[in-house]
Amino acid sequence: MWISRFTQWCECKMCSIKPVRELYSYAYKKVVMEEIDLAELNKADNVLFIGGGAIPYSAMYISEYCSKVTVLDCDKCCATKAQQLIKSLDLKNIDVKYINGKHFDFSSYSIIFVPLQAEPKGEILKSIAETAPKDAKILIRSPKPSSKCYTTLDNAPIKLKKFRSLNQLTFDKTFLCSVKDITL
């Protein structure tokens, strides 16, 4: 998807310019705090974030409230830049891996975060259903109806129940589901 490639490119360019990176991250802080509250994240949680980008700001905010965050990114440049950033900020409870989330062993995670641009949703959810603990929570962002360049969750193989309304440029809801809600 062109939008995903554009985001990758922007984050790769911005990540080494501290004021730009911090401004960009700060724009999402309120939303991520709402998602942390929705999931009732706590210090016992081991979180998996699929698609962190070169500036994994969501994972950075989340890491303040849980024991560990593992971030996956299937783009080598993004994963490498994110690893360098996390190391330079000395954030010891974030681990960035260059791996595609559509084939991953989710068995050790209590919360799995599926952001807007994590694709393909169907394969990711299948992999989660096959490997994650049945009571693990899933946070999944849903695009605004006007954001036509993102895949809607209308046909995603998951029962969407509890959600938080959010006012972001590209997404307006984050759903809280569990692995048991996956319908594959």
R_g (Cα) of the chain, nearest Å: 15
From the CB of 122, what's the least distance to ligand SAM, in Å? 11
Strand pairing report for 46-50 and 111-114: parallel
From the CB of 8, what's the least distance to ligand SAM, in Å? 4
Which residue's Cβ lies closest to ligand SAM?
51
Nearest to 134 by CA among 101, 70, 177: 177
Q: Give 135 or 142: the residue with its C-beta nearer to ligand SAM.
A: 142
Q: Give 130 or 135: the residue with its C-beta nearer to ligand SAM.
A: 130
From the CB of 146, what's the least distance to ligand SAM, in Å? 19
Burial of 148 by CB count in 10 Å (0-12 exposed, 13-18 middle, 19+ buried)? exposed
Residues making contact with ligand SAM (CB under 6 A): 4, 7-8, 11, 50-53, 55-59, 72-75, 78, 100-102, 115, 117-119, 124
Strand pairing report for 171-178 and 162-165: antiparallel
The strand pairing partners of 182, in sequence order, are 158
Q: Yes or no: say if 50 and 100 are a contact pair by the CB < 8 Å rule.
A: no
Q: Give 3 or 160: the residue with its C-beta nearer to ligand SAM.
A: 3
From the CB of 133, what's the least distance to ligand SAM, in Å? 20
Q: Give 39 or 74: the residue with its C-beta nearer to ligand SAM.
A: 74
What end-to-end distance do the CA atoms of the chain give, in Å? Answer: 24
